[in-house]
Chain A
Amino acid sequence: MLRKVEYTHILSMKRRRPGKTRKKAAAGQRESPGKRAQNKEKTKRDILRAALELFSRRGFFRTTTKQISDKAKIAEGTLFNYFKTKEDLALYFFEQEIAGLIAWYEEQHELQEAALPEKLFAIIHRHLERISPYEEFIGAVYLRALQPVSRLNLLSLETQELNLRYLKFIQQILKDTEEKGEIPKVGDFGAYALGLFHLAIISYWLQDASQGKENTLALLDRSLKLANSILKKEAWEW
């Protein structure tokens, strides 16, 4: 069964004919550098959207670059101008996802008042919900990320930027919780630990064959609560 792609922050962008910019350029109208960057970004999103739709419909391994460029209504050569490999595409995908996740969290006012385990649960669960139509794609990306030469490798400089953005986001949440006195000071270590935990959960989730992937929900809930109770000082006073 296939799920409908529901990528609001990509799909909600108004679709413009890809040909339009090129026509303008051909007519010799000069574009401001800002405008050009905007158009470039838009084409990138168009390509990603097309690719994701194909991945969820046909599968990651059976989707060809030709199909992607057809779907995005660009020349196959143009595709390579934007993304040299599927890894680049994946990196861009994760960038978008993290940005979307942060933006989403900032709107969840009720959640921001919740206890730490629920907050972290909600963030990771939201992420999983978002990427669930592209499970196969994520799985393939993960496998590739395990290779040391891959640009997706956790230690590659390309992923560092993404990591940093995510870590700072978590760091801020932990800091707020520390200030409220909910947990003792965990410093940056907490953010690192959670980042690794997040990755581990995704890999567990990928191979979780239980109904509705409920095993992942249980694992996520129990480990966050356990970590939280260990962090709390009173938990040691049994």
Chain B
Amino acid sequence: MVSKDRPQSRIGRGFRIGKLGLSLTGSYLGYQFQNLFLDERERPEKRKSFQKKAAQQIRKELESLKGPVMKLGQVLSMQSQMLPEEVLSELANLQMRAPAMHPTLARAQFKASFGKFPEEVFREFSPEPFAAASLGQVHRAVTKAGEKIAVKIQYPAIRTAIEHDFQLLRSAAIPVRLTGHATEAMFAEVERGMLQETDYVNEGRNIEFFRERVAFLGYVRVPRVRWDLSTDRVLSMSFIPGEPLPDFLARNKPSQEMRNAIGIRLLELFNLQLHRMDQIHADPHPGNYLIDSDGTIGLVDFGCVKKFSPEFIELMRAFEERAWLRGDEQARRMAGLIWGAQASRKPQVARKLLEQAIAFYEMLFPGASGRTPVVDFGSDKILNSMFQIWNNCLRSKTINPEFAFYTRAEMGLYNLLHMLHAKIDTAAALVKFYKRIAAREDSGRSHGPW
């Protein structure tokens, strides 16, 4: 659009002052802070109660320079002492939020990225979004050929804003790094994850991977990407029916059996990703799980997908095989994998943390050690213990950055099960599921990805 030989410098010099605007537009964290007060999507009553507490919390965190990471990856949030439950669940649901866009802005941003206005591209395009998404919002549309699709539009310049924040954090957060609460590796991991989330082309690839791999479950729907109608900031995909989990529960008042069944499906879906796909949907916001009336789960928003390292996969296998029972050497190896180099320097601390983690998983799978097998996710015991463990990890300054997004996903799962008030024989459910997978792997080796 701008010709190369344009005398940019001559004109440019006059407008340096325009750059002042950067300080206004250039901070993602600034958006987050403002959102607490400006976001029109939240229900007013919910907003009112949460705002006050969250505002204090965030201000406190910002002052101590630990906060940004909390909002970015939700990892350091457990550093604060026990929080009231509503704030706790807000944190568990934390989603990368961008400010809401009014119809005029959404239309303008679509044009900025796609080169044409939505009304030139689609037969129908609803100006109001029907859902908030990571870093943007989702609009309904109908293609010229008549297909119903969902169009996700990213808030303008969010990538630049995140980059600015990390530049700032790198210089400002030195005191935090010195005390060891947040390592450089942790910063890098969170930054990597966040920047990846701003690239909708990457997200489109994630969607295709998941679509292929979870298909055999038969009860999970993943959208199909319309590459011809997408860019790195606009993502068009087939429309997935269903209601966000909280709405589904409120409206349909499903029976306990139905709740349990959905709970088992969520548990299976999580374990399939963890143990067989080597990557995980790490944005567990309840709005990303669309439940249809027959219990089908629509999974959307694949911006934040964590691909596991070989070490992490080894660790998961060790947990599966209960390797810690095979002596100290194995236990130390596991602790090293979880908490990194820190753990080998402080073996007692690592041992204590590992014991806690094991106790947690014993609580999660009581059936495996011969106790009452059914876990009641309706109690907040599970979520609270998980927070407690992370709190301890932070206090002892032992965090493996590899876990930042995994923890987000795991905590999200328990939060969903908590919302469902699911009662599940976890061990039995997983044994059954792995048998199913094993049978499939044996019979299907010659065809398909399995």
Most A-side CB within 10 Å, residue of B14, B21, B161: B21
Contact mask A111-151 → B, CB, 8 Å, 1/0?
Answer: 10011011001100100000010011001101100100000
- Does any Cβ of A come within 8 Å of B105's Cβ? yes
Interfacial chain A residues near B5, Cβ < 8 Å: 59
Whether the pair A207, B156 counts as a contact (CB closer than 8 A) is no
Complex Cα gap A215–B113 (Å): 12
B105 touches A235 (CB 8 A): no
Asked if B179 is at the interface (CB within 8 A of a chain A CB), the reply is no
> Are A142 and B14 in contact, CB atoms less than 8 angstroms apart?
yes
Q: Which residue of A lies closest to B18 (CB)?
A: A204
Specify the chain B residue showing the minimal Cβ separation from A141.
Answer: B11
Q: Per a CB cutoff under 8 Å, which of B11, B19, B24, B55 touches A222?
A: B24
Give the chain B neighbours of A136 by CB distance below 8 A.
Answer: 2-3, 6, 11
Q: Is A1 an interface residue (CB 8 A)?
A: yes
**B38 engages A217 (CB within 8 Å):** no
Which stretch of A65-73, A74-82, A223-231 is in the interface?
A: A223-231
Q: Does B81 make an interface contact (CB < 8 A)?
A: no
Indicate the size class of the contact surface on chain B: 35 or more
Is A213 engaged at the interface, CB distance under 8 Å to the other chain? yes
Chain A window 85-116, contacts with chain B (Cβ cutoff 8 Å), 1 for yes, 0 for no: 00000000000000000000000000100110
B60 in contact (CB, < 8 A): no
User: Are B113 and A118 closer than 8 Å at their CB atoms?
Assistant: no
Q: Which of B2, B10, B105 contacts A221 (CB 8 A)?
A: B105
Q: Say yes or no for A27: interface residue by CB 8 A criterion.
A: no
- The answer to whether A206 has its CB under 8 Å from any CB of chain B is yes
- Cβ contact within 8 Å between B15 and A1: no
Q: Are the CB atoms of A218 and B17 closer together than 8 Å? A: no
A8 CB-CB contact with B under 8 Å: no
Closest CB-CB distance, A174 to chain B, in whole Å? 18
Q: Is the CB of A215 within 8 A of B157?
A: yes
Most buried by B among A1, A117, A121, A214: A214
Contact A217 B105 (CB under 8 A): yes
Which residues in B have their C-beta under 8 angstroms from that of A140? 11
Asked if A214 meets B157 with Cβ closer than 8 Å, knowing A136-B6, A219-B21, the reply is: yes
Please judge, given known A-B contacts A118-B103, A142-B15, A206-B15, whether A218 and B155 are in contact too, CB under 8 Å.
yes
- Asked if residues A3 and B104 are in contact (CB atoms below 8 Å), the reply is no
- B25 close to chain A: CB less than 8 A: yes
Q: Which residues of A contact B18 (CB under 8 A)?
A: 200, 203-208
Interface string of B141-171 (1 = CB under 8 A from A): 0000000000000011110110000000000
**A212: which of B3, B12, B111, B158 is its contact (CB, 8 Å)?**
B111
* B1-49 interface with A by 8 A CB criterion: 1-3, 5-7, 10-12, 14-19, 21-22, 24-25, 31, 34, 37-38
Which residues B236-263 have CB closer than 8 A to chain A?
Answer: none
A211 within 8 A of B: yes
In the complex, the answer to whether A212 meets B112 with C-beta atoms within 8 Å is yes
Expressed in whole angstroms, the Cα–Cα distance for A139 and B158 within the complex equals: 26
Tell me the complex Cα distance, A118–B102, Å.
7
Tell yes or no: A210 within 8 A of B by CB: yes
Cβ distance A62 to chain B, nearest Cβ, rounded Å:
9
A28 to B3, CA, bound (A): 48
Name the residue in B5, B6, B156 with the highest tally of chain A Cβ atoms < 10 Å from its Cβ: B156
* B99 adjacent to chain A (CB < 8 Å): yes
Partner of A210, one of B17, B55, B160: B160
Determine whether the beta carbon of A143 is less than 8 Å from that of B14: yes
Q: Interface on chain A toward B: helix, strand, loop, or mixed SS?
A: helix
- Give bound CA distance, A208 to B21, whole Å: 11
In the assembled complex, how far is the CB of residue A182 from the closest CB belonging to chain B, in whole angstroms? Answer: 14
- B108 on the interface (CB 8 Å rule)? yes
Contact of B99 among A2, A204, A219, A221 (CB under 8 A): A221
* A93 CB to nearest B CB, Å: 17
Contact of A59 among B6, B55, B102 (CB under 8 A): B6
Q: Which residue of chain A is the closest to B2 with respect to CB atoms? A: A135
Contact partners of A1 in chain B: CB under 8 A: 1, 3
Bound complex: CA of A135 vs CA of B8, how far in Å? 11
Cβ contacts under 8 Å, B15 to chain A: 142, 203-204, 206-207
- Is the C-beta of B109 less than 8 angstroms from some C-beta in chain A? yes
The yes or no answer to B101 lying at the interface (CB within 8 A) is yes
Beta-carbon contact of B25 and A203 below 8 Å: no
Name the one of B11, B99, B112 contacting A214, with C-beta atoms under 8 angstroms: B112
B14 and A214 within 8 A (CB): no
Chain B residues at the A interface, C-beta cutoff of 8 Å: 1-3, 5-7, 10-12, 14-19, 21-22, 24-25, 31, 34, 37-38, 55, 99, 101-105, 108-109, 111-113, 115, 155-158, 160-161, 233
18 further contact pairs, Cβ within 8 A, besides A118-B102, A142-B15, A207-B16: A2-B3, A114-B103, A125-B104, A135-B2, A200-B17, A205-B18, A206-B15, A207-B15, A208-B18, A212-B109, A214-B233, A217-B112, A218-B155, A221-B156, A222-B24, A222-B99, A225-B34, A229-B37
What 9 A-B pairs are tightest by C-beta distance, nearest first?
A: A212-B112, A204-B18, A214-B156, A139-B11, A218-B157, A219-B25, A217-B156, A218-B156, A118-B102
25 contacts between A and B (CB under 8 A): A2-B3, A3-B1, A114-B103, A132-B1, A136-B11, A143-B10, A143-B14, A200-B21, A203-B17, A205-B18, A206-B11, A207-B15, A207-B18, A211-B233, A212-B113, A212-B115, A214-B112, A214-B113, A215-B25, A217-B112, A218-B25, A219-B21, A221-B101, A223-B24, A229-B37
Residues of A within 8 A of B (CB): 1-3, 59, 61, 111, 114-115, 117-118, 121-122, 125, 132, 135-136, 139-140, 142-143, 146, 200, 203-208, 210-215, 217-219, 221-223, 225-226, 229, 235, 238
